[in-house]
Amino acid sequence: MSSTTDLVIFGALGDLSKRKLFPALYQLDRAGLLDASVRIAAVARDNINTPAFIEQLHLVLQKAFGPAAFDVASWLRFSHRLHYIKIDFAQKKQFLALKDWLLAGRTAIYYLATPPSMFSPISKHLDAAGCVAADSRIVLEKPIGHDLKSSQEVNSAVADCFAEGNIYRIDHYLGKETVQNLLALRFANRMINSQWDNSSIDHVQITAAEVVGIEGRWGYYDKVGQLRDMIQNHLLQLLCMVAMEPPNSLQADEIRAEKVKILRALSPITVDTVAEQAVRGQYTAGWVGGKPVVGYMEEEGSERESSNTETFVALKTYIDNWRWAGVPFYLRTGKRMHSKVTEVVITYKDHPHGIFPDRDRGAHNRLIIRLQPNEGIELEMVSKKQSLKERMGLEKRRLNLDFFDSSGESRIADAYERLFLEVIKGDQWLFVSRDEIEASWRWCDTLLDAWNKKGLGVKGYSAGSWGPSKAEMLIEKDQRSWHES
């Protein structure tokens, strides 16, 4: 790892910084993975100084980790790296304060945990203030744009100041250990890889269900919706990891080239197919974890009489290539659902001819890849019932590999820890290329456009359920059903 890094976090007092970025950096330091010479600048517009920032962060981290997991010696070491710089991001001249802090001969990494509207001005002001050297890196949080056109504008504005090889676009799902494990599962296991195509697989399901609602973000979320918030990035990235061809190597360019091929091969959902292939929903009041919760329209910050913004999406798509032709990929994601679960379920085809009389349709082999929580892999297999009463009765059994139990680690690292390490190393394999972002927006724009042209509204679903009944119908009409976690 580069020992001469100056890490600059823009938006250092924001929610993401407090919840994810600083806790991740503290954990890296604690684990001895942050080189002693790494310096960290926290940049925001509030009028505070370094000691006040350190005090604030101390309280935040103590609260986040709790007394048992908060290590005072690690914190002291970590806090010595921190420096607060007050900058109003819209004021070009104020970037000179950052220029004064940077040291020659060190690699600067700018992490933009800011609203996306700031990506372009911050890049320009950094450049104008002389803060951008040939090796300076910039890290962009999602969302990058609102559609293809706006994402191209953002990408082009940042590209005016940073080379593509120095732009790190975050999709935090790629930082999750379990998502990276999809590569190991597929490409390090001959047994799995040799059965990974349309001759063996019946269909694929990808679910990312959340229990949380809008979390005080109504104003923002209502302009975005679940398709842009989750499908455009996280679910399509998962789909790429499941469906891509083996890359030539684990080099970033090789992996990203394979992913973009999948995104370009995604069959568009158009005006003609949208009613059959996609459902959008919006939660109404209900019960979550035994407590009553309000509906989307009654959430704090709701400003309108009605809204057609979806908090749930279920869809069926295909990948138009040699390996996957004819295999449906069902994607499902929503807020305020029954439980938090992110998983990929691969259902295998049945044998062409059955010799077991009592074998029912529910007895296919299934590979369930649990990304969170209870990270692990389950393989549903059919085995003989241990019984003298039946000649050859069958039953479904599960092989269960629990990552947490078997890893020997006391915790699974947060995605942001891994992502920081990679950006400091200068490796883009877990970051999204411009081509991927644009291919993904192109596909999402077609779907959004089809929904709007068809005038298809959101279907209500009770908070705490698995989504609108239409979502069940979407898969059941194909004689399949959603996997129940």
Chain residues that interact with ligand BG6, rule: CB under 6 A: 210, 212, 229, 342
CB of 342 to ligand BG6, least distance (A): 6
Q: Are 467 and 461 in contact (CB under 8 A)?
A: yes
- Axis crossing angle, helix 434-454 with helix 236-243, rounded to the nearest 10: 120
- DSSP annotation of 369: E
Identity (one letter) of the amino acid at 198? N
- Residue 454 structure tokens: 């068809």
Ranges of beta strands (E only) in 231-326 are: 278-284, 286-288, 291-293, 312-317
CB of 368 to ligand BG6, least distance (A): 17
Q: Which is nearer to ligand BG6, 282 or 342 (CB)?
A: 342
234 as an active site residue: the answer is yes
Total length of the chain: 485
- Residue 253 structure tokens: 């360019």
Of all residues in the shown chain, the one whose CB is closest to ligand BG6 is 229
Q: Which is nearer to ligand BG6, 5 or 440 (CB)?
A: 440
Q: Are 61 and 53 in contact (CB under 8 A)?
A: no
Q: Which is nearer to ligand BG6, 234 or 480 (CB)?
A: 234
List strands edge to edge, sheet with 366-372. Answer: 394-402, 376-384, 366-372, 341-348, 201-209, 329-334, 312-317, 278-284, 459-462
Distance of CA 362 to the CA centre of its chain: 31
CB of 260 to ligand BG6, least distance (A): 21
- Tell me the pairing of strands 329-334 and 312-317: antiparallel
Burial class (CB in 10 A: 0-12, 13-18, 19+), 109: buried
CA distance 20 to 111: 13
CB of 140 to ligand BG6, least distance (A): 13
- DSSP annotation of 483: P
Selected catalytic residue, list 172, 203, 234, 483:
234
CA distance 341 to 372: 6
Which phi and psi angles does 365 have, rounded to 5°?
-70, 140
CB of 377 to ligand BG6, least distance (A): 18
The contacts of residue 232 (CB under 8 Å, 6+ apart) are 143, 440, 441, 444
Q: Which is nearer to ligand BG6, 195 or 372 (CB)?
A: 372
CB of 405 to ligand BG6, least distance (A): 21
Identity (one letter) of the amino acid at 234? H
Q: Which is nearer to ligand BG6, 274 or 419 (CB)?
A: 419
Q: Which is nearer to ligand BG6, 28 or 230 (CB)?
A: 230
CA distance 162 to 106: 17
Q: Which is nearer to ligand BG6, 29 or 210 (CB)?
A: 210
CB of 323 to ligand BG6, least distance (A): 27
Please give the positions annotated as active site: 234
